Chain A
Amino acid sequence: MKFRAHIRILPRPGLLDPQGQAIAHALTELDFSEASTVRVGKAIEVDLEAANATAATRRVRAMCATLLANPVTEDFRIEIETRS
């Protein structure tokens, strides 16, 4: 089966995120004062084939642990979409 993995990678909470801070500051200046914390990360899409959604998730989690995210500084979340 074909799947598309949507991977969201964000800096660990507590780790200084200067991009997030700069954007939060800009939002406040633009009259979006209700915005408090902003964090900036990466969105990665991976198309893959796997026997089922569970197997796809397992493989994508391994991709994240091996290459896509740095366990020292980043957390990741995976959503699997069925394509066929």
Chain B
Amino acid sequence: MIRVAVVVYPGTNCEHETVRAVELAGGSASLVWHRATSLGGADAVILPGGFSYGDYLRSGAIARFSPITEAIRRHAADGGPVVGICNGFQILCEAGLLPGALTRNAGLRFTSRPANVIVHRTETVVTRDYAPGARLCLPVANGEGRFVADSKTLARLRDNAQIVFTYAADPADNLIPGNPSGALEDIAGICNPGGTVVGCMPHPERVADPLVSSGEGAPFFTSLITSLVGAAPARLP
């Protein structure tokens, strides 16, 4: 069975939904405390949402120096899947595993509401089970979700198709406006060139269980599992 490590920092608060979403997708998940120095042999790692270190200084700024970061770096360098959701995305940017930064929302508000999101790239470890161009309704809940990057970085993101998700207004529903944070070019999620390290601000884990939600977040997690099942022969002798 594919094993996923879900990292817990002081102030993380989305770890249980994330574990549940992985289990629904057919994987097994275990919580890994940020002081650990190894991922315990996990095939993939998810940095879940929350407010690590109370978002002091900047979101993710202190969490990136946790001992677990070196293990995450090694896992990413070996091509292993690394996924950051919300605060996890902020941590990956602060750690330099993804480019750019996440700053205070343009409207100065903590924004907690559904957001329409378009899937632009399906060759990533969390989007292969979505159709290209799929429109999803995913919850966002953040105060510092405005993605920024300099023009050179942005050009590189575009050229390498590293923009995975963007926000879009729903033409049929004016209660759900587009970009909730003022993020540059409506960017909601990005990846490394290989699509193995992914960060996104919306919370797919909150809509992964069809019992209590749309289930639109479920393919995010089945993608993670199936991307590894495909790689299994190389890993299992």
Contact = CB atoms under 8 A, between A and B. Distances in A.
B55 to A, nearest CB: 13
Nearest to B182: A16
A31 B65 CA distance: 46
A79 to B, nearest CB: 20
| Prevailing SS type, chain B contact patch | loop
A72 B100 CA distance: 7
A67 B106 contact: no
B58 A72 contact: no
A73 B101 contact: yes
A67 B108 contact: no
A51 to B, nearest CB: 26
Interface in B131-173: 146, 148-150
Nearest to B101: A72
Contacts of B71: none
Interface residues of A, number: 11
Contacts of A16: 103, 106, 146, 148, 182
Contact of B103 (A15, A22, A67, A68): A15
Given A67-B57, A68-B57, A73 B108 contact: no
Given A67-B62, A67-B65, A72-B149, A18 B104 contact: yes
B105 interface: yes
Nearest to B150: A72
Contact of A19 (B61, B94, B108, B148): B108
B86 to A, nearest CB: 18
Interface of A: 11, 15-16, 18-19, 22, 67-68, 70, 72-73
Interface of B: 57-58, 61-62, 65, 93-94, 100-101, 103-108, 146, 148-150, 182
6 contacts: A18-B105, A18-B107, A18-B108, A67-B65, A70-B94, A73-B101
